[in-house]
Amino acid sequence: MMNNIEQTTNQIIAKEGMKPVLLSGVLILLCIFIHLNILALVFFIICLFFILIFRNPERIAEYRKENMIIAPCDGIVRDVYISNNKTTIKVEIGIFDVGVLRTPMFIDSINTIYKHGLFIKNDEKLKEILNTRHCINGIKNNNTIYSIKLLPEIWNKVNIYNTNLAFAGDRIGFMKYGFLFLTINVSCNIKIQKGDNIIAGQTLLGKLD
């Protein structure tokens, strides 16, 4: 479920991963206490897995000029659609990609829309109608300069942070495993292509015309 919460900074693990990490840590200690060492090892591996997928690196965006567009997430570019003055970039976020979402451009504020639904995978038409969806609109000078559509897969681990006056690369949310569609609503020159790996806050996607 989507929550408007404060963003997580300067922590090794994102807030979204604290519960599973702490729970697995408690289970490790419990198993050691009752001398179930093999099970303790299993929970130790599970704990490391959660630490890995919920890692929370701090990144300082190299490209902070107002005409720059930087990657909003880690992942692989699966497609780029260009139509009139709109450009949409489809990114697949894997389970081992960092889940922190970042604003691709300078914004005054964001607004969000949330629709609870299913997690259908194979039927594109049904996915569009029935699946869970989170939408983020980046607003500058009272205009929506970009929109981000988040389609989580398997489970709905999405948070949108309280955000005002954010520079390119600042945190705006968190999602693990799924697809992100970034639509830029102004004319731009895109530098990436299908198949590229991108890193949130570091990869330059393009420049505004």
Over residues 50-68, the pLDDT tens digits come to: 999 999 888 877 766 678 8
Over residues 191-198, the mean pLDDT reads 93
Does one domain contain both 18 and 118?
no
Alpha-carbon distances, residue 144 vs 12, 54, 66 (angstroms): 33, 30, 15
35 occurs within a structural domain: yes
Residue 42 domain-assigned (yes or no): yes
Question: Residue 42 is part of which domain span?
Answer: 4-53
* Residues 18 and 116 grouped into a single domain: no
- Report yes or no on 62 lying in a domain: no
Confidence of residue 1 (pLDDT cuts 50, 70, 90): very low
Residue 60 lies in a domain: no
Same-domain pairing of 90 and 48: no
Structural domain contains residue 59:
no
Task: Specify the pLDDT at position 85.
Answer: 81
Residue 2: is its pLDDT beyond 50? no
In contact, 86 and 112? CB cutoff 8 Å: no
- The string of DSSP codes covering the chain is ---EEPPP-S-SB-GGGHHHHHHHHHHHHHHHHTT-HHHHHHHHHHHHHHHHHTB------S--STTEEE-SSSEEEEEEEEETTEEEEEEEEPTTS--EEE-SS-EEEEEEEEE--B---S-HHHHHHHB-EEEEEEEETTEEEEEEEEEE-SS--EEEE--EEE-TT-EEEEE-SEEEEEEE-S-EEE---TT-EE-TTTSEEEEE-
What is the reported pLDDT for 5? 52
- What global pTM score does this model have? 0.86
pLDDT of residue 182: 96
Share of the chain above pLDDT 90, in %: 51
- Residue 209 — very low, low, confident or very high, per pLDDT cuts 50/70/90? confident
Residues 134, 75 share a domain: yes
pLDDT of residue 12: 86
Q: Are residues 49 and 80 in the same domain?
A: no
Residue 61 lies in a domain: no
Do 82 and 184 have their domain in common? yes
Point out the least confidently predicted range of 31-40, 63-72, 118-127, 164-173: 118-127
Residue 205 has pLDDT above 70, yes or no: yes
**pLDDT at residue 72, as a whole number:** 95
Q: Which residue, among 1, 50, 63, has the nearest Cα to 21 in the 3D structure?
A: 50
Q: Is the CB of residue 139 less than 8 Å from the CB of residue 109?
A: yes
- Other C-beta atoms lying within 10 Å of the C-beta of residue 25: 16
Q: In the predicted model, what is the mean pLDDT of residues 8-30?
A: 87
Mean of all residue pLDDT scores within the chain:
87
Q: Which of 39-53, 100-114, 148-162 has the lowest mean pLDDT?
A: 148-162
Least confident of 76-80, 95-99, 116-120, 175-179: 116-120
